[in-house]
Amino acid sequence: MLGRVNHIAIAVPDLSVAAASYRDTLGARISQPQALPEHGVTVVFVELDNTKIELLEPLGDDSPIRSFLEKNPSGGMHHICYEVQDILASRDQLSQAGARVLGSGEPKIGAHGKPVLFLHPKDFQGTLIELEQV
Ligand SMILES: CC[C@@H](C(=O)O)C(=O)SCCNC(=O)CCNC(=O)[C@H](O)C(C)(C)COP(=O)(O)OP(=O)(O)OC[C@H]1O[C@@H](n2cnc3c(N)ncnc32)[C@H](O)[C@@H]1OP(=O)(O)O
Ligand SMILES: [Co+2]
């Protein structure tokens, strides 16, 4: 089912500080900030040769990363995103296997304009998984 790693996400308390750290200290190429109110986050992508790092800052009171940042105030690795060919087939296969698909279970459009879904971290070795259809 799984294809390439599309991105690894890091939740951060201050996006401008984190972006400057990747740009100025690590010398990485970074994207402009993108506010995604429907996901409750603002994102910056760090572009690497083999994948991307997604820096996430909470947006709005109901941000899904707010509780994570309360537990990890200086930030931390938040999720890993795998590419899949058919997100609805993957969702149905995973649900049948007992994995919890988060939210309504219907894909939302993610930061790359493609459908995404999330799987509960307690079902996958304590790691929140995002699936993105490519
Ligand atoms: C930019 C758009 C998109 C993209 O295209 O890339 C994105 O990436 S959006 C990214 C943000 N969106 C999401 O994360 C959506 C899915 N997430 C959720 O639905 C929730 O965050 C959650 C995973 C259900 C957790 O919700 P929360 O309110 O934090 O619940 P709890 O605090 O009660 O946590 C329950 C339990 O799970 C542990 N946990 C929470 N988050 C993570 C995590 N990221 N990685 C590992 N474990 C996590 C948490 O510690 C609790 O454990 P216990 O304390 O042992 O009970
Ligand atoms: Co993501």
Determine the structural domain holding residue 107 and report its residue range: 5-133
Q: What is the ipTM of this complex?
A: 0.98
What confidence score (pLDDT) does residue 82 get? Answer: 98
Residue nearest atom 41 in ligand 1 by C-alpha distance: 68
108 alpha carbon, closest ligand: 1
Domain count, the chain: 1
| 26 Rama class: left (phi>0) / alpha (psi -120 to 50) / beta | alpha
Give the chain's mean pLDDT: 98
What mean pLDDT comes out for the span 30-49? 98
**pTM of the complete model:** 0.98
Catalytic annotation, residues: 130
User: Which of 63, 68, 46 lies closest to 121 in space, CA to CA?
Assistant: 68
Which residues have C-beta under 5 Å from ligand 2, the single-atom ion? 9, 54, 81, 130
Distance, CA of 65 to CA of 105 (rounded, Å): 18
CATH of the domain at 32: 3.10.180.10
54 C-alpha to ligand 2 centroid (Å): 6
